[in-house]
Amino acid sequence: MLNLIAWIVALASIAAALGHAGYLAMLGSVANKRAGGEPVARYVRSRWPVAGGAAAGALLSLLVASGDSAAADVFAILIGGGSGFVATKALQSTQQRYRTGG
């Protein structure tokens, strides 16, 4: 049962990390195409290490979740939960910074 929870947490953290990376890629692409988009492009470049770190943590949690011991499952849950939390908060921060309209 613990292994199933570890896998679910790892997959959710991968989804969060990919969502953040995808949003940064989209935002950076638009910023590079627009005149005057350099401040946004610079911000996006500064956020890539956070996205990469969260993705690396999520992948590590998936790798650890494939282990057979209960200790590995607990470790995978902790790593995946932390990575997912960081990716989600970073995505929310970026979205809030560039939210327009209403």
Q: What is the pLDDT of residues 19-53, one digit of tens each?
A: 999 999 999 999 999 899 899 999 999 999 999 99
Q: Which residues contact 84 (CB under 8 A, 6 or more apart)?
A: 9, 12, 13, 16, 17, 54, 58
Flag whether 102 is in a domain. Answer: no
Q: Which domain holds residue 13?
A: 2-96
pTM of the model: 0.88
Flag whether 31 is in a domain. Answer: yes
pLDDT for 101 beyond 60? no
| Degrees, nearest 5: CA angle 87-92-38 | 95
Count: domains in the chain:
1
Mean pLDDT of 54-71: 94
Residue 96: both structure tokens together: 């809030």
Flag whether 77 is in a domain. Answer: yes
Flag whether 101 is in a domain. Answer: no
